């Protein structure tokens, strides 16, 4: 029945916004983020013409959560705020934990700790008022995400433990599909390598077969980090390279940035400074585009560990994409197209393509002008 629904035309008649919202939620849960965006956006558009479904606050929250993962933070942050407002105005208390939790994701991701904390406290209060499994889950998930971004891994693990202890077995198993990334990374940070391996193993085969490219990027990132912790360097590098392949399909600056940051850290630790610099600079540019201050600071710390100073000019200064910014920085430092391609694992033709775009956007004609523009 849900398959017959169309997000672009009223088929079947009458238009079933509630069913389309349900399908959008299912797509979000089952690994089809782009399909979820299409369905949930259609529900929101239809609500502006007078057909307002009761599940509208949930549709906004679900859309915002998917947009967080896809790195569409400008739209997602606005949709999360609307979800909170709509749930409050319609007295849908049971929707508030979800809405506040998702709103906290964006503020935490940008380093707005106070505002993120306020949303998380509101999520927990609303969860106490509407004690549903999903409410408790999202309140605890928001706490864990904030703690992880502040490198408080013990607090992150404690919040995740509350999810497991407070929910029934089948519910915990289902919702665990949303926590595996955080739990694996927290366990690795705490040095509990084999526990992290077990969490990753439970999720691995299912995710590799799914259509969720964003989840696959995270899976390969965490596998690379796990194998690095086990000192299996060749296996770790292969995992990161697989993640780069998945990132081409995911089209998520957040997932790609986190992958490149982890890969750059691995390369630095294994003595490949030049390659590490390129990866971290790319990650920094991606995070800068999101205004993800905590991640930008992590990149700066990585670069500073071997004496590389982050450039003050960013991709947004000139309208360059994150990858164009990295190419521009490397070329401005005096590298040839071939050398840049080797550092970024791109062909010389790909570098030439990026250089044409860079010259057009900056209104310049030479590499000397590029170096002067970035230095100025």
pLDDT in tens, 10-19: 444 555 788 8
Residues 300, 321: one domain?
Answer: no
Q: How confident is the model at residue 67 (pLDDT cuts 50, 70, 90)?
A: very high
Q: Which residue has the tokens 């605890």?
A: 140
Question: What confidence score (pLDDT) does residue 152 get?
Answer: 95
Half-sphere exposure of 178 (CA within 13 A, CB side): 23
Phi, psi angles (nearest 5°) of residue 313: -70, 140
Looking at the structure, do residues 112 and 225 belong to the same domain, yes or no? no
Tokens of 340: 């840049």
Cα–Cα distance list, 144 to 82, 124, 310, 320 (Å): 23, 13, 29, 34
Residues 105 and 150 in one domain: no
Q: Is the pLDDT of residue 101 over 90?
A: yes
**What CATH number did the domain enclosing 103 receive?**
1.25.40.10
The reply to whether 7 and 113 lie within a common domain is yes
State the distance between the two ends of the chain, measured CA to CA, in whole angstroms: 60
Rounded Cα distance, 369 and 71, in Å:
32
Please say whether the beta carbons of 182 and 190 come within 8 A.
no
**CB 266, CB 224: distance < 8 Å:** yes
Non-local (6+) Cβ contacts of 234 within 8 A are none
Given this model, what pLDDT does residue 205 score? Answer: 66
- What per-residue confidence (pLDDT) applies to 7? 57
For 180, the domain range is 132-203
Whether 47 and 21 map to the same domain: the answer is yes
pLDDT at residue 315 is higher than 70: no
Q: How much is the pLDDT for 178?
A: 77
Question: pLDDT at position 158, please?
Answer: 95
In the chain, the percentage of residues whose pLDDT exceeds 70 is 88
The arithmetic mean of pLDDT across residues 223-245, rounded, is 96
pLDDT of residue 171: 46
Orientation angle between helical segments 96-109 and 73-89, nearest 10 degrees = 150
Based on the structure, what is the number of domains in the chain? 4
- Residue with more model confidence, 171 or 354: 354
Region 178-186 average pLDDT: 91
* The pLDDT of residue 100 is above 60: yes
Q: At what angle do helices 96-109 and 133-149 cross, to 10 degrees?
A: 10
Q: What is the pLDDT at residue 376?
A: 56
Residues 179 and 145: their CA atoms lie apart, in Å, by 10
CA distance 71 to 9: 28
- Cβ contacts of 114 within 8 Å, gap of 6 or more: none
Residues 7 and 82 placed together within one structural domain of the fold = yes
Single residue among 203, 218, 250 that ends a domain in this structure: 203
The predicted pLDDT at position 154 comes to 94
CA distance 368 to 376: 12
89 and 9 inside one domain: yes
Segment 318-347, tens digit of pLDDT: 677 777 888 888 888 788 998 888 767 678
pTM (predicted TM-score): 0.80
Cα(326)–Cα(276) distance, integer angstroms: 13
Q: Is the pLDDT of residue 148 over 80?
A: yes
**C-alpha separations of 20 from 40, 65, 92, 116, 256 in Å:** 7, 17, 20, 30, 30
pLDDT at residue 159 tops 90: yes
Of 126, 142, 167, which closes a domain?
126
Q: Final residue of a domain: which of 175, 203, 231? A: 203
d(CA 350, CA 242): 20
Distance CA 174, CA 133 (A): 11
- 365 DSSP 8-state letter: -
At residue 349, the pLDDT reads 83
- Looking at the predicted structure, is the pLDDT value of residue 85 above 80? yes
Query: Does pLDDT of 243 surpass 80?
Result: yes
Band of residue 294 on the pLDDT scale cut at 50, 70, 90: very high
Are 13 and 119 contained in the same domain? Answer: yes
């Amino acid at each position: 029945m849900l398959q017959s629904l169309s997000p672009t035309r009223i088929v079947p008649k009458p238009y079933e916004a509630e069913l389309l919202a349900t399908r959008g939620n299912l797509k979000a849960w089952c690994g089809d983020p782009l399909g979820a965006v299409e369905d949930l956006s259609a529900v929101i558009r239809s609500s502006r013409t007078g057909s307002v479904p009761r599940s509208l606050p949930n549709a906004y929250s679900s859309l915002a959560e998917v947009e967080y993962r896809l790195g569409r933070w400008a739209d997602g942050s606005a949709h999360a705020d609307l979800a909170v407002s709509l749930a409050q105005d319609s007295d849908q208390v049971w929707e508030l934990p979800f809405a506040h939790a998702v709103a906290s994701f964006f503020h935490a991701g940008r380093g707005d700790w106070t505002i993120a904390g306020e949303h998380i406290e509101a999520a927990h209060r609303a969860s106490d008022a509407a004690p549903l499994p999903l409410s408790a889950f999202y309140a605890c998930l928001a706490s864990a995400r904030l703690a992880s971004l502040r490198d408080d891994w013990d607090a992150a693990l404690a919040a995740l433990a509350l999810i497991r202890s407070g929910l029934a077995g089948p519910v915990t198993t289902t919702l665990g599909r949303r926590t595996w990334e955080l739990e694996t990374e927290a366990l690795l940070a705490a040095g509990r390598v084999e526990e992290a391996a077990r969490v990753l193993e439970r999720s691995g085969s299912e995710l590799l077969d799914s259509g969720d490219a964003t989840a696959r990027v995270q899976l390969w990132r965490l596998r690379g980090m796990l194998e690095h912790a086990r000192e299996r360097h060749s296996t770790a590098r292969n995992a990161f390279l697989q993640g780069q392949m998945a990132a081409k399909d995911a089209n998520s600056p957040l997932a790609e940035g986190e992958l490149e940051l982890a890969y750059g850290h691995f390369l630095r630790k294994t003595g490949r400074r030049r390659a590490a610099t390129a990866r971290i600079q790319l990650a920094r540019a991606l995070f800068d585009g999101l205004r993800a201050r905590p991640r930008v600071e992590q990149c700066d710390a990585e670069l500073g560990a071997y004496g590389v100073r982050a450039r003050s000019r960013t991709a947004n200064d000139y309208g360059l994409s994150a990858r164009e910014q990295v190419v521009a920085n490397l070329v401005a430092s005096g590298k040839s197209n071939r050398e840049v391609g080797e550092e970024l694992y791109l062909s010389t033709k790909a570098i030439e393509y990026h250089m044409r775009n860079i010259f057009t956007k900056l209104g310049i004609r030479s590499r000397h002008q590029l170096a002067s523009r970035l230095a100025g």
